[in-house]
Amino acid sequence: MSTSLKMSWGSVSYALSFADVLWSFLALFFLLAFCAHKISLHLPRKYETCRLYMLFQDLIRYGKTKQNLKRDDWLRAFDVPKRWFWHFYAISVGWNGLLLAFYLISIFQHQSYPLLLTGVLDFLTGVPSTDSQVPQLSTLLVQLLLCVHSLRRLMECLFVSVFSDGAMHLVQYVFGVCYYIAMGLTVLCSDRLGKGTGTLLSQLDWFHLAGSSLFIGASLMQHQSTVLLARLRTGKSGRVETLAHRVPEGGWFELVSCPHYLAELLIYVSLSLVFGGLSLTWWLVVLYVLFNQALAAQLCHELYISKYESYPRHRKAFIPFVL
């Protein structure tokens, strides 16, 4: 049974897989959520006590942006600690590491994926598996980089970041777990929908180097931002002195309120470049990350502006000079 949707544009025909539809839906959902939040800022204050309004705000906020939100007690029952973010990256390291192992086994030992994994990929891509599939260097690099990214974020959550008593919704937690599982599967979907020729080394091209370079630069940017945020709560000795929120300064914080979110977007753009910029599926992932991180950054930006009178007005939320 095919799960692809065919679309035509002029003389060119495209086949949208279920994975494409899924990421398109998520991107559209967060775009609408972003627009709905911007509109809600202009509503009369009486709507802040509306249950639908509270539920919407409860679902899009987490951590510091949620602490002053007016909520009913029944909504607080679904809170889980924000510090559980490390669960996402631990799952990502284990899951994507397992998928990487399956891919390496398929390359060097010529063994097929487990039947369950094959069936899932058949459904997500609408393309049946074949024994003649040529291994792609792009897929291998993206899997490696995704594992490195997840491991770094896990280490930062455990040993760098200083979490307060901030919370996130249980729905956000479940979504986060599913997201990193879907991410690894999406890499293999892009592999199946792509075409590789020759040996792995013969496939090496300029975009692999460009994408990897951008990945390294964006990762360093994100790590620097994470360290600067942690230092707002620690002293020179490295010990936690306060859990209060302060105005972040230094690095890319001089231009935007949330450079770590901008870095996240650049990391996913870099992975798209490693795919040669030819994977529609991965560009849809990038689109989702854009709207998702834009929403989170906008909420943080609004909090900083409302909380600190001296907050630099030239700073944007997410993208320098733009948003």
Angstrom distance (rounded) from CA 245 to CA 304: 9
Query: Does residue 277 form part of some domain?
Result: yes
Per-residue pLDDT of the chain (323 residues; tens, 9 = 90+): 444 455 443 333 446 789 999 999 999 999 999 999 999 888 887 777 788 888 998 999 988 888 878 888 888 889 999 999 999 999 999 999 999 999 999 888 888 889 999 999 999 988 787 766 778 889 999 999 999 999 999 999 999 988 888 899 999 999 999 999 999 999 999 887 766 677 888 888 899 999 999 999 999 999 999 999 888 887 776 777 676 778 888 889 999 999 999 999 999 999 999 999 888 999 999 999 999 999 999 999 999 998 888 888 889 999 998 88
> What domain range is 274 assigned to?
18-307
> Collapsing DSSP states into helix, strand and coil, what is residue 197?
coil
Establish if 3 belongs to a structural domain.
no
Q: Name the amino acid, one letter, at 254.
A: E
Does the residue 286 lie in any domain? yes
Number of domains in the chain: 1
Inter-residue contact 71 to 55 (CB < 8 Å): no
Is position 143 within any domain?
A: yes
Helices 18-40 + 170-193 axis angle, to 10: 140
Per the domain annotation, does 234 fall within a domain?
yes
Tell me which residue of 65, 70, 71, 82 sits closest to 306, measured CA to CA.
Answer: 65
Specify if 317 maps to a domain: no
> Is beta strand 79-81 parallel, antiparallel or unpaired with respect to 167-169?
antiparallel
**Predicted TM-score (pTM) of this structure:** 0.91
Q: Is residue 11 part of a domain?
A: no
| Measured CA distances, 157 to 77, 90, 240 (Å) | 24, 10, 15
Structure token pair of residue 221:
């940017």
Phi/psi region, residue 252 (left: phi>0; alpha: psi -120 to 50; beta: rest), is alpha
